[in-house]
Structure 1
Amino acid sequence: MKTILLKLAGPLQSWGTNSHFEYRRTDNYPSKSAIIGMILAAMGIRRGVDENLIIELNKFDFALRIDQEGDILEDYHIVQNRLKEASFYVTKRYYLEDAVFLAALGSENGAVIAEIEHALKYPHFQPFMGRRSCPVPADFFLGVFEEGVIEILKTYPWQAASWFKKKQRHDPKYHTFVYADSHLLKQAVRKRRKDKVASFSQKNRQFQYRFESELSVMLENPLYQGSTKDEHDALAAIGGEYVSIQS
């Protein structure tokens, strides 16, 4: 088994699996179809060209870890109808702010993994996180590993931003979740998610349901500073004393 590990982090991301017309929503974490789309773009595969490769990538094991939850941002638009100069209408776009995710794709097909690795290092088309205005980070491609997708996400170091880790500094471990193909977590509850891509064709995009399960994980916190009982005493630092004031 070889596993590709990707980091998705930035000011804004958007991962819609149920968006139509003027309302472009985002899910709380990336979809498998979005990750496959990013890989195909990096490989230079145009929409509707090589759908046999899509079938192959759908077979890959997939799991995703939430390292830093994002906040939902609503972006307000007013759009003009070109056919009617005085006609305007409202559209809304939704994003995730300051989120960090790790996405893992695994397979026994070493030849395809090697092709994907080369494409991610030297992309033909620039990958982006859901929308073209959301570029991937410099450390987007984290490498190829020998572990399976669940194993690597259980052990890979926590990738949240430093400011976010500092907020958790009194907890030795950070509790988060992994969302994976259900066959990888056979004892877990299954739920359906419509993010199995059948075709990326611009004229006839098609997505099907796949089963997904959730796994709770604990990540080591490198900024752990002990209990809140050991908080710094500001008055002690300047030689002050607590004075009891009584009426």
Structure 2
Amino acid sequence: MHWLLFELAAPLASFGGTAPGQVRDTELLPSRSAVLGLLAAAQGVERDDVAAQHALGEGLYIAARVNPGASLARDYHTAQAPGQAALKGRPCRTRRDELSVPKDDLNTVLSDRYYYSDYAATIGVACGSAERLDALGRALRRPRFTLYLGRKSCPPAWPIVPQLLQADTWALALSGYEERVGTSLSRFDGFGVAGWLRSRKDSYFHRVDEGINPGELTGARQLVVRRDRPLDTARRLFGEGRHWRIGPEQEARS
């Protein structure tokens, strides 16, 4: 199996979980849809281009190893929005269109938005074609659209420099990746990235798409069903996907 591995680190990251009412939660482990969205942005694939989005994800497997040192943060968020009556019969293609109503028709919307601060993860994309992964790697080095970790307020802390390698399992892919980049991460220790290579292996959290072999990883192992498989990116519809979740038994908010 061919792998493309790279680091994602940022002062803030937020990978959406369930979002009932006024609570916009985040999960520690990035979803499949979040990683595919990052790859789509790098290649310049528009969200409304559903066929191209489907083609991008076809045959790709996603894995991630997350540093548990990130801290959960809550943002008390306020925003203005018109009521449904004020929007009736008015197209709203932009935020400016949405707010171009009389001030008396604007309401204040309150929400709690959650983030992880000092976030760092190693992402793996597996595929049977090295050429395809090489093209994705070139796009990540020179992305067409701005990349971010879940929300637009969460850009990466530094440029993404992916590595292409071969391995039979996710664990072996990580080992090969560490051999290549382990000596070059000390300047990023503020985000805990270099610390991964010195910390206890059983402290990591992993998510590995079903269909690829996780390999020898320490920690409790669970097959999880999550609605993170993009069906229609234009309408933001998602189907169920299955992945392995591996790590300490007490896995908060993920």
Gaps of 5+ in 1: 218-247
The answer to whether the 8 Å contact 2:189/2:195 transfers is: no
Matched, 1:176 2:195: no
Q: Give the distance between the partners of 1:44 and 1:170, measured in 2 at CA.
A: 37
Matches within 5 A, 1:73-88: 73-81=73-81, 83-84=103-104, 87-88=107-108
User: What's the offset of the Cα at 1:210?
Assistant: 0.9
Of 98, 109, 115, the match for 1:95: 115
Helix, strand or coil for the counterpart of 1:184?
A: coil
Partner of 1:209: 240
Deviation track 1:109-153 (CA, whole Å, cap 9, x = no partner) reads: 233223212211111101111111111132423322222560212
Root mean square deviation of aligned Cα: 3.3
Helix, strand or coil for the counterpart of 2:35?
A: helix
The answer to whether the 8 Å contact 1:11/1:99 transfers is: yes
Distance change >3 Å, CA 162–CA 186, structure 1 → 2 = closer
Partner of 1:200: 233
The answer to whether the 8 Å contact 1:80/1:88 transfers is: yes
Code of the aligned partner of 2:114: Y
User: What's the offset of the Cα at 1:49?
Assistant: 1.3
Partner of 1:46: 46
Higher helix share: 2
The answer to whether the 8 Å contact 1:178/1:215 transfers is: yes
User: What's the offset of the Cα at 1:8?
Assistant: 1.3
Q: Give the distance between the partners of 1:165 and 1:6, measured in 2 at CA.
A: 11
Distance change >3 Å, CA 134–CA 111, structure 1 → 2 = same
Partner of 2:153: 133
User: What's the offset of the Cα at 1:43?
Assistant: 0.6
Distance change >3 Å, CA 130–CA 148, structure 1 → 2 = farther
Distance change >3 Å, CA 56–CA 94, structure 1 → 2 = same
Partner of 1:152: 173
Of 127, 140, 144, the match for 1:107: 127
Taking only the aligned residue pairs, the percentage that are identical comes to 22
Q: Choose 1 or 2 for highest CA Rg.
A: 1
Partner of 2:94: none
* TM-score after normalising by structure 2: 0.72
RCO greater where, 1 or 2, for CA within 8 Å and sep 6 or more? 2
Q: Give the distance between the partners of 2:122 and 2:40, measured in 1 at CA.
A: 18
Helix, strand or coil for the counterpart of 2:132?
A: helix
* TM-score after normalising by structure 1: 0.73
Partner of 1:3: 3
The answer to whether the 8 Å contact 2:13/2:119 transfers is: yes
Find runs of 4+ consecutive structure 1 residues off by over 6 angstroms. Answer: 165-172
Q: Give the distance between the partners of 1:189 and 1:90, measured in 2 at CA.
A: 35
Q: Give the distance between the partners of 1:170 and 1:6, measured in 2 at CA.
A: 18
Deviation track 1:25-59 (CA, whole Å, cap 9, x = no partner) reads: 11112111101001111111111215255245243
Aligned residues: 215
Partner of 1:190: 223
Gaps of 5+ in 2: 83-102, 179-185, 216-220, 249-254
